[in-house]
């Protein structure tokens, strides 16, 4: 083993209107989030020769950053227009596709998965000036095999999944399972699976030193008789490790800068940050795996069974109501033909149903469930008006 490829991944998400609400109620927290976002491209500039980072940005976050009114409001804190421009730096950043409103994809109706994935692609192509995104980040790393056909239809080559839910079909060692990409197939659809190392990701989330990380990665990959790909993935705008504004006390100025300096002078134990797509172009996937339904680990739950988002009756009732209104919405779409007014009403219902599906509405126990119902109430009203207009049309 001469070298170790490192796939660093950060997930960036803010629910719709959340930053605006924080600016009104907890302004310092909003500023910390904005500075954490702005710190990313600035920290990568100095290390474009050796640094590589994958970023997933939810549609609602991108929508907020691209809003001229929001840009004007926070101009003295962060220049959002420049931030979006600098995130197009393909020398150091690979942007991953995701779901627009950040839903746990296995928990929403299949037809709405297509909407969530497709709407993000429309916005991502516009803001990042490219036609294609090769990698996909499932919000909350919530994944099941049934999502594969939808990702394949949208042109994605690979998807990140959590190591705890990957089961081998091809016989392979522990190291092969975790540190090589694989193929997963359901029916006629197939996608490459990139495995997130949960243990190392936990360290990335909570804070770590570059020297410890290098030693740990080398220990974990020492028996690899193949070029290993070590993938770590966490949120990039939550927690003090990413929000801390003191130089030398956050992910970028403590861990990342030291790692990059060591890579630059050849003292990182053969570790080198890489784009996952480049690794796949060089080495391709290995064996075949299947993915058990699950998400990443949260503060309270392991991720299996999506308990974080489905653990209470109120959460499950809200998810059931989403399914009911979504079904009615899609059925209405088949009956409204050529009626412009009804179609506009239906679109108003559609995006509210999709927004109701954001994972944040279910993540905080029952605290945010009313937000889901608020959107569903409005969606149901627009849907009724669309059907009424169609019947009179």
Domain annotation covers residue 269: yes
Domain annotation covers residue 228: yes
pLDDT digits (tens, 9 = 90+) for 282-337: 999 999 999 999 999 998 889 999 999 999 999 999 999 999 999 999 999 878 76
34 and 130 fall within a common domain: yes
pLDDT digits (tens, 9 = 90+) for 48-99: 999 999 999 999 999 999 999 999 999 999 999 999 999 999 999 999 999 9
330 and 230 fall within a common domain: no
Domain annotation covers residue 305: no
In this predicted structure, what is the pLDDT of residue 264?
A: 97
333 and 239 fall within a common domain: no
Helix and strand numbers (H, E) in the chain are: 18, 11
Bridge partners of 95, per DSSP, are 55
| Structural domain for 36, as ranges | 4-291
In this predicted structure, what is the pLDDT of residue 338?
A: 66
- Between CA 328 and CA 336, with CA 330 as vertex, the angle to 5 degrees is 100
Domain annotation covers residue 212: yes
Domain annotation covers residue 46: yes
Rounded to a whole number of angstroms, the distance between the first and last alpha carbons of the chain is: 70
264 and 116 fall within a common domain: yes
- Which pair of structure tokens corresponds to residue 200? 């190392």
215 and 346 fall within a common domain: no
In this predicted structure, what is the pLDDT of residue 335?
A: 80
In this predicted structure, what is the pLDDT of residue 382?
A: 96
In this predicted structure, what is the pLDDT of residue 333?
A: 80
Divide the 393 residues of the chain into consecutive groups of 10 and give the mean pLDDT of each group: 91 97 97 98 96 98 98 97 97 98 98 97 97 97 98 97 98 97 98 98 95 98 96 96 95 97 97 98 97 93 94 97 97 79 93 98 96 98 88 64
270 and 352 fall within a common domain: no
Residue 140 CA to residue 249 CA, distance in Å, equals 26
pTM: 0.97
Total domains, the chain: 2
């Amino acid at each position: 083993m001469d070298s170790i490829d490192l796939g660093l991944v950060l997930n960036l998400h803010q629910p719709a209107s959340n930053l605006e609400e924080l600016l009104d109620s907890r302004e310092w927290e909003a500023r910390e989030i904005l500075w954490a976002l702005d710190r990313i491209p600035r920290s990568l500039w100095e290390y474009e020769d050796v640094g590589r980072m994958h970023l997933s940005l939810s549609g609602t976050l991108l929508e907020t950053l691209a809003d001229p009114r929001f840009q004007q409001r926070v101009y003295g804190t962060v220049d959002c227009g420049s931030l979006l421009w600098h995130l197009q730096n393909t020398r150091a950043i690979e942007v991953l596709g995701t779901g627009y409103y950040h839903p746990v994809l296995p928990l929403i109706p299949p037809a709405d998965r297509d909407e969530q994935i497709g709407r993000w692609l429309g916005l991502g192509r516009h803001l990042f000036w490219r036609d294609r995104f090769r990698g996909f980040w499932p919000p909350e790393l919530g994944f099941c095999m049934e999502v594969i056909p939808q990702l394949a239809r949208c042109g994605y080559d690979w998807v990140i999944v959590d190591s705890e839910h990957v089961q081998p079909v091809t016989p392979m060692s522990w190291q092969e399972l975790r540190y090589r990409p694989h193929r997963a197939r359901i029916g006629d659809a197939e996608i490459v699976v990139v495995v997130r190392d949960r243990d190392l990701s936990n360290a990335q989330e909570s804070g770590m030193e570059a020297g410890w990380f290098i030693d740990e990665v080398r220990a974990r990959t020492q028996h690899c008789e193949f070029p290993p790909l070590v993938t770590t993935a966490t949120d990039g705008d939550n927690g003090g490790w990413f929000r801390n504004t003191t130089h030398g006390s956050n992910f970028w100025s403590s861990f990342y800068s030291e790692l990059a300096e060591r890579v630059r002078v050849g003292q990182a134990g053969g570790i080198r940050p890489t784009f996952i797509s480049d690794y796949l172009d060089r080495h391709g996937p290995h064996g075949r795996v299947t993915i058990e339904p699950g998400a990443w680990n949260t503060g309270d739950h392991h991720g299996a069974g999506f308990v974080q988002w489905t653990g209470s009756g109120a959460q499950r009732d809200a998810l059931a109501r989403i399914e009911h209104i979504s079904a009615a919405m899609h059925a209405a779409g088949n009956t409204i033909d050529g009626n412009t007014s009804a179609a506009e009403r239906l679109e108003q219902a559609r995006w509210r149903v999709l927004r109701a599906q954001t994972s944040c509405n279910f993540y905080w126990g029952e605290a945010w469930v009313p937000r889901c119902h608020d959107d569903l109430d409005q969606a149901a009203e627009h849907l009724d008006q669309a059907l009424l207009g169609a019947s009179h049309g």
